[in-house]
Amino acid sequence: MTQSTQQLSVLGAGVLGGQIGWHSAFKGKNVTIYDISEESLERCRKTHANYAQQYIKDLGASNSDIEKTRRRIIYTTDLQDAGDSADIVIEAVPEIPKIKIDLYEKLAKYLPDHTIVATNSSTLLPSEFAQHTGRPDRFCALHFANLIWISNLAEIMVHPDTSEETVRIITEFAIEIGMVPIPVLKEKNGYVLNTWLVALLNSSQSLITNGVSRPEEIDRTFMIVNRGTKFGPCGMMDIIGMKTCYDILHHWGEHDNDEQMKKNADYIKTHFLDKGKQGMLGGEGYYTYPKPEFLAKNFLEVPDKSMVNEIVRNVLNK
């Protein structure tokens, strides 16, 4: 008999944690969302209200579907409440090893024996945390993409002690919530998605940090050569959230002693985080929401000749 995966706890009410929790509830799971502060949970509740409208628009959800989704979600700051009835726990806290380790060690004493723990870490390896969970055989990575209801993939990556049963259960869970499972054949920082995504975003941020190009021109270039995509790298950073972008660039800049990456992290801190700009969910990042410039109908069109003088000034940096 396959283990139940009906009771899900999501640790971390940020961008992806909030999405995983809402989408899983929409797909019929009972979800507890945990965060350390009521302020974070309140932001998550407000974001979920926005998701309700997005799911009606993008997925054709009915008002009944949305109401059922809401009733399946509990928000809490009590870690024991999040742990003691969970079939699956998905950790989605900041991309800082110390924070993750501390959380796993506190969580371990509350979990039932059967509970599977998965990290949604975007760049870190499950083997870095397995022993801290107290159940290395029931631990792996399950990494989601942003805009989970559209970009419906879930990368599955194990460490040497992950059991086959754990992989089977987590794969079935991913399918049950409408994800396409992406097997990662060996441990790799960045998995499949972020191996190229972090490189893309870091390169794009370098163009801005070093004064080579502006956000809208970087995105315009990307969207023209990738016709059909809805946003470019700077729009992606807004969607991911500036705090997550900073955490990743700062961690790997220090880890690899990469001076450019460190400069990029400092740029994001100075120009966004220090000014309270969090990205799309906060209403402002590289663009202003809910109507960012890259959604304008003429964003990718050939400009009128009346724009020549402005373009010349930009080329000459005047």
What is the helix (H) or strand (E) element at residue 70, kind and residue range? helix 63-71
Give residue 1's pLDDT band: very low, low, confident or very high (50, 70, 90): very low
- Model pLDDT, residue 128: 96
Task: Output the pTM of the full model.
Answer: 0.85
**Tens-digit pLDDT profile for residues 162-193:** 999 999 999 999 999 999 999 999 999 999 99
**Tens-digit pLDDT profile for residues 8-38:** 999 999 999 999 999 999 999 999 999 999 9
Q: What does the pLDDT average to over 223-227?
A: 96
**Tens-digit pLDDT profile for residues 124-171:** 999 999 999 999 999 999 999 999 999 999 999 999 999 999 999 999
- Asked whether residue 318 carries a pLDDT value surpassing 80, the answer given is no
- Asked whether residue 211 carries a pLDDT value surpassing 90, the answer given is yes
**Tens-digit pLDDT profile for residues 53-108:** 999 999 999 999 999 999 999 999 999 999 998 999 999 999 899 999 999 999 99
- Model pLDDT, residue 123: 87
Sign of the Cα torsion 34, 18, 86, 139 reads: negative
| CB distance 139 to 129 below 8 Å | yes
Sorted by where each begins, the domain ranges of the chain are 7-183, 195-315
**Tens-digit pLDDT profile for residues 265-279:** 999 999 999 999 999
H runs (alpha helix) in 97-152: 97-107
Q: Which fold has domain 195-315?
A: N-(1-d-carboxylethyl)-l-norvaline Dehydrogenase; domain 2 (1.10.1040)
Distance of CA 161 to the CA centre of its chain: 26
Q: Has domain 7-183 been given CATH number 3.40.50.720?
A: yes
Q: Give φ, ψ of 245 to 5 degrees.
A: -60, -45
